[in-house]
Structure 1
Amino acid sequence: MSSLLDQIIQFVSAHVWLAYATVFAAAALEAVPVFGAFVPGSTLIIALSALVAAGELRLAEVIAAAVAGAALGDGASYLAGHIYQRKILGIWPLASYPAVIARSEAFFARRGALAVLLARFVPPVRAFVPVIAGAFGMPPARFFSVNIPAIALWACAHILPAALAGSLWKQYGREVEHIALPLLVIGLLLWVAIWLLRRRKHLAAE
């Protein structure tokens, strides 16, 4: 485990720009309707954020990359909906996911502007609410006044705990590695199981 972690840290230290670019791209792609449901963006961001403790990545720059990527993804989706209105919901690939569109529409209809905030933390709705907000005519000023703070909260909620965990591992990891490694494996298996169950439920709803 330590050798693998050391190799990852060495790779990141040699390709710092690639780490920031990955955080940016992961946040941006996760916000793209339909495609975002298949991109493990949050997982990549959390994994890279844990390496802040190694000293090769700067916390503020990781947060900035995540915020910028998510803002680009959400903003592009919203503007597409704003320009094409409800017609965009009938265009591929959105038209291929009527159940998710219906859930996202209902979520937006119930919550209004609050849906833009809450959707940031609810996959796969997160990737659909911005385009629906645009399609339903939410004014740009209102959308971005809620969306940008929501993105900042989302980024901090993902990155700060991961960075803290990385700091704790750096300080105590080698002492508790015989305990931490099995827990890590169990946690990874649980995450995969939950992800597969969600995907199965998502596909069954189509």
Structure 2
Amino acid sequence: MTSFLDPVIAFVSAHPWLAYLTLFMAALFEATPVVGALVPGSTIILALSALVPGGELTLWGVLAAAITGALIGDGSAFWTGHRAQREILNAWPMARYPAAMAQSEAFFHRWGTLAVFFGRFVPPIRAFVPVTAGALGMRPALFFGVNIPAVLAWAGAHVLPGVLAVSALHHYAGLPHHQHVGKHLWMLAVFAAAIMALGVWALRRRRIAKAS
């Protein structure tokens, strides 16, 4: 495992822009209708956020990349639905996932405006709520007034807990003579967390496929 982690750390250290781009794309795709149900964006964000305590990436850079990607993804989906109206809910590729679309619409009808906020934290619903909100005629000012705080809270909830936990582990095992061991301990911790998150994502994707 150590032989695998060392090149990863070295590569990200040498090419941080690529890591930030990956974070941006993960957040963007996760917010895209249909695609968001297939891309493990949260797992990618979790894994790369763990590089903050080691100094390979900066906290503000990670947050900025995730927030920007999510805002663009949600905004694009909303405007698509807003312009096409309800017809888009039955068009390709949404038509291939009738159960997910029905669940998203029911979620929106149940929670109203709050669906935009809560939906950001419920995969795979978050990939369908923005386009549903637009298709059902939600006012743009109202959507973005709720969506922007939701994205900020979502980014913090995805990035900060892992960074703080890994920082504590890194600090605990980061004494001079344990520096090398500590660095790999926190990397192993985040990879374990990422694997668990990937497993949850895979189970949810399987449920969507069965429902469709």
Asked if 1:4 corresponds to 2:10, the answer is no
Q: 1:60-109 deviations in whole A, cap 9, x for unaligned?
A: 11101110000000000000000000111121101111111111000000
Q: Is contact 2:34-2:128 (8 Å) kept?
A: yes
The CA distance in 1 between the partners of 2:66 and 2:195, in whole Å, is 26
1:84-163 to 2 correspondence within 5 Å?
A: 84-163=84-163
Q: 1:137-172 deviations in whole A, cap 9, x for unaligned?
A: 100000000000000000000101121233234334
The CA distance in 1 between the partners of 2:59 and 2:188, in whole Å, is 28
The CA distance in 1 between the partners of 2:191 and 2:140, in whole Å, is 44
The CA distance in 1 between the partners of 2:42 and 2:151, in whole Å, is 12
Amino acid at match of 1:110: R
* Partner residue in 1 for 2:176: none
Distance 1:190 1:47, change over 3 A: closer
Residue 200 of structure 1 is aligned with which of 194, 199, 206?
A: 206
Q: Is contact 1:21-1:65 (8 Å) kept?
A: yes
Q: Percent sequence identity over matched residues? A: 55
RMSD: 2.4
* Partner residue in 2 for 1:38: 38
Amino acid at match of 2:203: L
Distance 1:20 1:96, change over 3 A: same
Q: Is contact 1:50-1:165 (8 Å) kept?
A: no
Is the partner of 2:118 in helix, strand or coil? helix
Q: Which runs of 5+ in 1 are unaligned?
A: none
Amino acid at match of 1:95: A
Q: Is contact 1:50-1:164 (8 Å) kept?
A: no
Distance 1:183 1:48, change over 3 A: closer
Q: Is contact 1:119-1:125 (8 Å) kept?
A: yes
Shift of 1:57: 1.2
Shift of 1:185: 7.7
Distance 1:127 1:197, change over 3 A: same
Shift of 1:202: 1.6
Distance 1:79 1:165, change over 3 A: same
Amino acid at match of 1:159: V
Q: Which runs of 5+ in 2 are unaligned?
A: 174-179
TM-score by length of 1: 0.90
The CA distance in 1 between the partners of 2:19 and 2:103, in whole Å, is 34
Shift of 1:182: 8.7
Q: Is contact 2:170-2:185 (8 Å) kept?
A: no
Distance 1:191 1:47, change over 3 A: closer
Asked if 1:77 corresponds to 2:112, the answer is no
1:52-71 to 2 correspondence within 5 Å?
A: 52-71=52-71
* Aligned pairs, number: 206
